[in-house]
Amino acid sequence: MATVIAGISGAIGSALAQQYLEAWPEQPVIGLCRHPERVPEELRQDSRVHLVPWQAECPADGLDDAAVGDVLSAAVGLQNLIYAAGLLHDDTLFPEKRLEQLSAESLARAFQVNCTGFGLLVQALAPWLRGKQFKRVAAVSAKVGSISDNHLGGWYAYRCSKAALNMMVRNLSVELPRRYGPIACVALHPGTTRSALSEPFSQSLANLKVHEASETASNLYRILASLSEADNGRFIHWDGSDLPW
Ligand SMILES: NC(=O)c1ccc[n+]([C@@H]2O[C@H](COP(=O)([O-])OP(=O)(O)OC[C@H]3O[C@@H](n4cnc5c(N)ncnc54)[C@H](OP(=O)(O)O)[C@@H]3O)[C@@H](O)[C@H]2O)c1
């Protein structure tokens, strides 16, 4: 059975793909991303990796269901659906420090990539979640999306969109097992990880433990591999503990 990773061009997404290929050498990985040419060479050259163009901000462009479906059919189904795409900053968007910096456009873009993209992807692939075999649906979220843990403020668009992602996970954790079969749908906090997303904050992260993407991938893989139906609906820290919503 196959693993789908949205955001396979990212540091955490690509490291997770490597982890799955090592752990399950017979199973294909379907990698969704905007720019397949930016995916690490090692993955691009691997015949078990199927890259499918996908854009979280333009759901109308859609996912090539047929391309994904062909691989899933050949692999006799979907086992893991992992959402590792995310947006914190880019050329036109940067985390807000104060209210005056709030912008409708930034909020909308962050929601699109961090929350809407996940919901619509699960919607598109839901038929593949049907069946008696246990399946995992995991969204890479962030601790800063925890409402009760928010004591610092700031980062409005990112925090709000990750809190919305967490609610999407909770909602899906109610509906998916009822309609499709045994599933654990969870939100994961990967921990601070060296990547393009965290790079502008490297100085302020100096006092924090920063993981390499490969460490984060093995931490997340450990959690994903140990999931059972009893874990459905959890918000899980990379060390395996529960995070408050
Ligand atoms: N790094 C950390 O310290 C940290 C901490 C907490 C949570 N996280 C979460 O972990 C996840 C992965 O982050 P990362 O650290 O691996 O960052 P990254 O290396 O910057 O990867 C981000 C991924 O999101 C994709 N993406 C961004 N906008 C997109 C769009 N419009 N459509 C489709 N894909 C889009 C990127 O694709 P392109 O290659 O096309 O840009 C890339 O694959 C994110 O959800 C992030 O919020 C990270």
pLDDT by position in tens, the chain (length 245)? 999 999 999 999 999 999 999 999 999 999 999 999 999 999 999 999 999 999 999 866 678 888 899 999 998 999 999 999 999 999 999 999 999 999 999 999 999 999 999 999 999 999 999 999 999 999 999 999 999 999 999 999 999 999 999 999 999 999 999 999 999 999 999 999 999 999 998 877 777 889 999 999 999 999 999 999 999 999 999 999 999 99
The predicted model scores a pTM of 0.98
The answer to whether residue 122 sits within a structural domain is yes
What is the domain extent for residue 110? 2-237
Look at ligand 1, atom 22, and give the residue with the nearest C-alpha. 10
The number of folded domains in the chain is 1
What amino acid occupies position 43? L
Q: Which residue has the tokens 């995070």?
A: 243
Could you tell me the CATH number of the domain that includes residue 45? 3.40.50.720
The answer to whether residue 215 sits within a structural domain is yes
Instruction: Give the list of residues 6+ apart from residue 218 with CB closer than 8 angstroms, or none.
Output: 19
Test site for ligand 1: of 57, 114, 197, most ligand atoms within 8 A of the Cβ: 197
The answer to whether residue 242 sits within a structural domain is no
* 226 CA → ligand 1 middle, Å: 24
C-alpha 235/C-alpha 135 separation (Å) is 17
* 94 CA → ligand 1 middle, Å: 14
The answer to whether residue 245 sits within a structural domain is no
Residue 177 confidence (pLDDT): 98
Four-residue CA torsion sign, 69, 72, 77, 79: negative
pLDDT in tens, 154-196: 999 999 999 999 999 999 999 999 999 999 999 999 999 999 9
